[in-house]
A = this chain, B = another copy of it.
Amino acid sequence: METIITLTTDFGIEDAYVAAMKGVIIGINPRAIIVDISHSIDPQDVTQGAFVLSTAYPYFPDGTIHIVVVDPGVGSQRRSIILKTKRAVFVAPDNGVLSYVAHHASLKGCRGSTALEEWPAGLEVFEITNPGFWRHPVSSTFHGLDIFAPIAAYISTGVPFEEFGKVTDSINLFPIPQPEALESGDLIGHVLHIDHFGNIITDVQREDISPEKFYLEVAGRQIESLSQTYDEANGLLALVGSSGYLEIALKNSSAARFLGTRIGDEVRIRRGL
């Protein structure tokens, strides 16, 4: 079947790791359409992997299978899971890399590996336990190759999820960064990501701000209006990017380099004026 399989990893593009996974996938399903999301996640940075995945998967057709391999605990006791939502399927280590996806799917209540009390409809998690679909001998260092790639490929050929392992009612999720509302009415946001252009992407969302009355502080500087485009203002500007997050940009340059911004840094939205 012509199912789409995407890959998000921290493998880089110099080595043959990604290609080896693709070889395994095509060997099982030559008609799979393989799409790279990113292989430039910082090594072992589960949080960044979770975020980058979250900005890509919504644009893929229903039924797309997403493999995510940012997996510092490979070979340890961490579980491997399949998360099935109404729209997509995710194959990944159970280390939090699906936290944004789960959050989008209203899996807000579950933190840590405790059982969920309220499990949203249409959502299922399977623990991958049946070695019948793995490559053997299974390495203890590259489950992307030996477990995730073949599982995703077999899912794309129509093998039922139950074949890979049994349903579980827990999943490891980390808390999604959220802006913090102060008593004054101000909002403290956090830098989630710095993109290729040096645009600073924060956890402040469209619904958190008022375009008419906008005042932002970042790294000791003020931005006093909300722009629509990167081209609109000279110097620093703020706008809501295509994924709905408030971004800080610098026309034709890198705002992050200019401001010395790093992931986790705070921005303040003045709303109590």
Contacts and interface: CB of A to CB of B under 8 A. Distances in A.
Interface of A: 2, 4, 6, 10-17, 19-24, 26-27, 30-31, 33-40, 43-44, 52-53, 55-57, 59-61, 64, 72-76, 139-142, 145-146, 193, 195-197, 228-232, 239, 241-242, 247, 252
Contacts of A33: 26, 30
B196 A15 contact: yes
Contact of A4 (B26, B37, B60, B232): B26
20 contacts: A10-B197, A12-B196, A13-B38, A13-B39, A13-B196, A14-B38, A16-B37, A17-B195, A19-B36, A19-B38, A20-B56, A24-B59, A26-B33, A26-B60, A27-B60, A30-B33, A59-B145, A73-B229, A141-B229, A141-B247
Contacts of A35: 19, 22-23, 26, 34
B61 A242 contact: no
Nearest to A14: B40
Contacts of A232: 75-76
Contacts of A140: 228-229, 239
Nearest to A253: B43
A31 B17 CA distance: 24
A139 B73 contact: no
Contact of A44 (B60, B241, B252): B252
A23 B61 contact: yes
Nearest to A239: B141
A12 B6 CA distance: 18
Given A6-B19, A56-B20, A145-B242, A195 B14 contact: yes
Given A14-B195, A30-B61, 18 more contacts: A4-B26, A14-B196, A16-B52, A17-B196, A19-B36, A23-B35, A23-B60, A24-B59, A26-B60, A43-B197, A72-B231, A72-B252, A75-B228, A75-B230, A76-B231, A139-B241, A141-B241, A146-B242
A229 to B, nearest CB: 3
Contacts of A252: 43-44, 72
What are the 9 tightest A-B residue pairs by CB atom distance, in nearest-first order? A12-B196, A75-B229, A16-B56, A23-B59, A23-B60, A142-B242, A14-B40, A139-B242, A20-B59
Contacts of A72: 230-231, 252
B139 A15 contact: no
A236 to B, nearest CB: 15
Nearest to A27: B61
Contacts of A38: 13-16, 19
